[in-house]
Amino acid sequence: MPDYPYAGGDLLTRPNSYFYSAFGGAAFVRAWKSHREATAQWFDATGRASESVADTADPALTLFERLAEGDDRSGTIDAIARLVQRFEVTKRVYGAYDDRMRPVDREDYRVLERYVAFGHLLERTHARTGSLPALNALLKVNDILGAHREALAPAWRRPAARLVRAEREHVDALATRVGAAL
């Protein structure tokens, strides 16, 4: 079985471009599933139970949590789309965003907890709307979390495990819907 090559190295410094990715057949998908299951198990095994992991003083976490709650206020969909665009351009999640969802400090992107919270927002968005851009970004977020798992605070590892497993469920559902020969 081939290795899954997209979740290694320092992806915060040198992000994947994902351009012209090679085709590896169903074996590639099996390698991805294997990688993700091992990642989720590691997060579960090393994580620490915590009643609440949210830091209400962190602007990014607050923003992602508010958007993930699914309020239908005007601008929510636009805000999520802009966040996805910012992430896709840089492959980074920042500490704070201005009212146009541009990062306030472009050097503040190494806090992994924000990647979990942003991943949760993407997961909820895909679950609610079926948005493929959201699922696409979630896959890239989980690549980063897998590559940097040691740096994630133990209190955030079990939420990260849930995120990885939710991603797998969404991909499985999509594969079934489109009839992919796995």
Partner 1 sequence: MLERALLFAARTPRSQAYVQAMATAGLAPGRVLICGEDSEDREAPPAQPSGAVEVALPDLTEPLEATCAAAGWPVEAIAERDVNSPAVLQRLAAWRPSFVIYSGFGAQIVGEAVLAQGIAFLHAHSGWLPAFRGSTTIYYSMLEACRCAASVLVLARGIDEGPVLARRHYALPPAGLDVDRLYDAAIRADLMCRVLGDVHAHDRLPMALEIEAEPAGTYFVIHPVLKHLALLSLPGSAGERGAGS
Contact 93, 124 (CB under 8 A): no
Contact 43, 158 (CB under 8 A): yes
Give the residue with the Cβ less far from partner 1, 25 or 154.
25
175 binds partner 1 (CB under 8 A): yes
180 binds partner 1 (CB under 8 A): yes
Q: Which stretch binds partner 1 (CB under 8 A): 67-75, 93-101, 136-144, 156-164?
A: 136-144
In a 10 Å sphere around its CB, with 0-12 CB exposed, 13-18 middle and 19+ buried, how is residue 146 labelled?
Answer: buried
Give the residue with the Cβ less far from partner 1, 5 or 59.
5
CA distances 60 to 3, 46, 92, 95, 143, Å, are: 33, 25, 12, 5, 20
Tokens of 141: 């977020």
132 binds partner 1 (CB under 8 A): yes
Q: How many residues bind partner 1 (CB under 8 A)?
A: 34
19 binds partner 1 (CB under 8 A): yes
- Enumerate binding residues for partner 1 (CB under 8 A): 6, 17-29, 32, 81, 84-85, 88, 132-133, 135-137, 139-140, 171, 174-175, 178-182
